[in-house]
Amino acid sequence: MRFAWFRLSATLLVAAACCGCGDKPGPPPPPVHAATGSLHYDDGAPVAKALVQFVLESNPSLNISGVTDNDGAFALKTSAGNHTLSGAIEGRCRIKIVPPCKFTPDDPPRTLELPEVYEIKQGENRFDLKIPRRK
């Protein structure tokens, strides 16, 4: 009898440990919308390996960004809490671009902020951006 009680207690202890303490999941991720685009220099050449950041006016702390491929194409992703979502949250945005550089004293990184305000809307979004070539 004593052994059965011990075995039952051990089983309940293991079951409680496996179930956890009822951690509540965080808030659901926000809805996102497909957002892609391209980045080219003003002479038409693609800008490869640039960071394109969309800064949402209503929540500038959210990370909405993409990195351009060799053709200058990018797809935005949103980091919200523990979630990384393909797409961007709806709203008005400013765009910051960090073009590729060699990260030397002669070629320090720079951030370009485009003067226009862009808007991410429900559905598909496409942004074809141009920046001046660094001299």
Indicate the Cα dihedral angle 105, 106, 109, 110, nearest 10°: 130
Q: Is residue 102 part of a domain?
A: yes
Q: Is residue 90 part of a domain?
A: yes
Q: Is residue 67 part of a domain?
A: yes
pTM of the complete model? 0.75
pLDDT at 11 over 60: no
Range of the domain at 94: 35-131
Separation CA 18–CA 21 (nearest Å): 9
Other Cβ atoms closer than 10 A to 101: 14
Q: Is residue 126 part of a domain?
A: yes
Q: Is residue 23 part of a domain?
A: no
Mean per-residue pLDDT over the chain, rounded: 83
CA distance from start to end of the chain: 86
Q: Is residue 123 part of a domain?
A: yes
- Number of domains the chain is built from: 1
Q: Is residue 14 part of a domain?
A: no
Other Cβ atoms closer than 10 A to 71: 12
Which residue type, as a one-letter code, is found at position 117? V
Q: What is the CATH number of the domain that holds 42?
A: 2.60.40
Which residue type, as a one-letter code, is found at position 75? A
pLDDT at 40 over 50: yes
